[in-house]
Amino acid sequence: MSTKTNSKLDFFALLKERHAVKRYDSGYRMVEEDILALLQAASDAPSAWNLQHWKFLTITDQAHKETLLDIAFGQRQVVEASAVVAILGDLQADRNAEKVFGSDVQAGRMSVAIKSRLISQINLAYENKNWARDQAICNASLAAMQLMLAAKAMGLDSCPIGGFDPGRLIEAFAIPDRYVPVMLISVGKAAEPARPSERLPIEESVVWNRF
């Protein structure tokens, strides 16, 4: 069997093995190097115009996790996990355009004319604040999923958490107005297996060509 085929099989096995873990080994602590490797993998996610609409508020200090516990309505995984990553969507990701495309121009991957045209398109699009918010949430969610898959590939477990008070999170952790909370993700070593979850038959989710 070729290496390419093996990689494909390994990836699909990883997808099947990833589950939302609710109980963590509270004695396990990730080192900073591993956390940064995980976040780097998440930041390799695709994004519209490559604006990278995410910020990772990474909470490892136990006192801060205790603060987060009430904000997350008492969900114990936020204090038992090694780290909790608050995925924030960037409402002003258009500000990244000059840096992103400037690097492309310097590397010879893009002309100055194309850079100027793209930035004009982005500036026009970001005049619509509702659109900017939708893009922040959509693109940050791509990074969130990639983070969870990367965690599993590193032998770690994770859980996406949508049950929290975003207003209180913003206040408690001094999150600037530029960012909107999308979800929390707990990361660590499972203390017990995740509860199995069934999926609807794929035939119930697929529509071919049009409704």
What CATH number is given to the structural domain containing 82? 3.40.109.10
Q: Is residue 13 part of a domain?
A: no
Give the Cα separation of 126 and 139 in Å (integer). Answer: 15
Q: Is residue 26 part of a domain?
A: yes
Q: What is the pLDDT of residues 140-174, one digit of tens each?
A: 999 999 999 999 999 999 999 999 999 999 999 99
Give the Cα separation of 54 and 144 in Å (integer). Answer: 9
Q: What is the pLDDT of residues 35-47, one digit of tens each?
A: 999 999 999 999 9
Q: Is residue 58 part of a domain?
A: yes
Secondary structure element (H or E) that encloses residue 124, with its range = helix 112-125
pLDDT given at position 91: 98
Domain span at 58: 19-193
User: Burial level of 108, CB count in 10 A (0-12/13-18/19+)?
Assistant: exposed
Q: How confident is the model at residue 100 (pLDDT cuts 50, 70, 90)?
A: very high
Q: Is residue 14 part of a domain?
A: no
Q: How confident is the model at residue 8 (pLDDT cuts 50, 70, 90)?
A: low
Q: Is residue 141 part of a domain?
A: yes
Total domains in the fold of the chain: 1
Q: Is residue 2 part of a domain?
A: no
Give the Cα separation of 190 and 198 in Å (integer). Answer: 20
Q: Is residue 206 part of a domain?
A: no
Q: Is residue 112 part of a domain?
A: yes
